[in-house]
Amino acid sequence: DGGITQSPKYLFRKEGQNVTLSCEQNLNHDAMYWYRQDPGQGLRLIYYSQIVNDFQKGDIAEGYSVSREKKESFPLTVTSAQKNPTAFYLCASSPHPSSYNEQFFGPGTRLTVL
């Protein structure tokens, strides 16, 4: 089955620890995205990548880092510098880095900082 997978579904972390969220796609899509959802807010873009070995900051990149070493994978690291990391994180991909392409979303990871 083609699609996007995110792991884990739930993640707990102690304050001050870095944590990496996984996102993998087998759709052969060029573009990948990380969003964050908080109660009462729309999805906010953290980072996006239009092609392998390239990525750009989104609207709320502070305290996060990403890599895009392989087309299929776009892991997101939540660092200890992120002041309010507890949230629901969604990964998405699209065939090409264009707004005309719909985005395909993974199931999400809910991160809780204890």
Partner 1 sequence: ILNVEQSPQSLHVQEGDSTNFTCSFPSSNFYALHWYRWETAKSPEALFVMTLNGDEKKKGRISATLNTKEGYSYLYIKGSQPEDSATYLCASLTGTASKLTFGTGTRLQVTL
Q: Cα–Cα distance between 77 and 29 in angstroms, integer? A: 21
Does residue 64 touch partner 1 according to CB under 8 A? no
Pairing of strands 76-78, 64-66: antiparallel
Kindly state whether residue 7 participates in binding partner 1, applying the rule CB under 8 A: no
Side-chain-side CA neighbours of residue 27 (13 Å): 19
65 is an interface residue for partner 1 by CB under 8 A: no
Selected from 48, 64, 74, 89, the binder of partner 1 by CB under 8 A is: 48
Say whether 54 sits in a helix, a strand or coil.
strand
- Closer CB to partner 1, 75 or 108, in the complex: 108
* Binding footprint of partner 1 on the chain (CB under 8 A): 4, 31, 33, 35, 40-45, 48, 50, 58-59, 90, 97-108
